[in-house]
Amino acid sequence: MEAYKKEFIEFMVDCQVLRFGDFVTKSGRRTPFFINTGFYRTGTQLKKLGEYYARAIEENFGLDFDLLFGPAYKGIPLSVATVMALSERGAEIGYCSNRKEVKDHGDAGILLGMPIKAGQKVLMIEDVTTAGTSVGETMPIIKTCGEVEVVGLVVSVDRMERGSKEKSALSEIHETYGLKTAAIVTMAEVVEHLYNRPYQGKIIIDDTIKAAIDAYYEQYGCRE
């Protein structure tokens, strides 16, 4: 596993973004781990997060695209932090996000940031995708702006669980929309790095938590 992936996993733990215990996801699944990117709250944290996203984007998509689209609300700071990090890599990429409500005055419309124009290449950015719902909501918004090429979707963590069928949510997004998908890390990499390995003086994933994760994937893990 690449060093930056290990660093990112530890970064999530440090920021309390990645936690283990007993949680219920938005889809109603009881899960032994939870990822809440709302806990990236400081300038330093967001700067580092953008750098990790930028690294994953360059590795998986290159830098030949025009605009990074982050769906409201969590996608807004993600897109801003990441285009700033991409600029440090020599890529001048615009950011764009949608509003939940259409604004009828001033900077009117449903979009904020760089306008989406026909002929542009757009990459979507999200925090964590479990069922692909926001992609289904976002694609029509982008497509109404003209002949735009959506080159893919990048997320922070691939939870590696089933979407609506037997495949992972990211695989279903690829099949449904023809999008390439990528994540900074997968949950398999998280477990590989943290299981029975001391970090900051304690074991983050011990045998009990590992057994709960295994049981969760037995029930909800993707089959392909």
Under DSSP, is residue 49 helix (H, G, I), strand (E, B) or coil? helix
Helices and strands, counts by H and E, the chain:
7, 10
Q: What's the rounded Cα separation, in Å, for the pair 192 and 17?
A: 18
Catalytic residue ranges? 103, 105
Q: What's the rounded Cα separation, in Å, for the pair 92 and 67?
A: 9
The secondary structure element, H or E, covering residue 67 is strand 67-70
Please answer whether residues 102 and 110 qualify as being in contact, where contact means their C-beta atoms are separated by less than 8 angstroms: yes
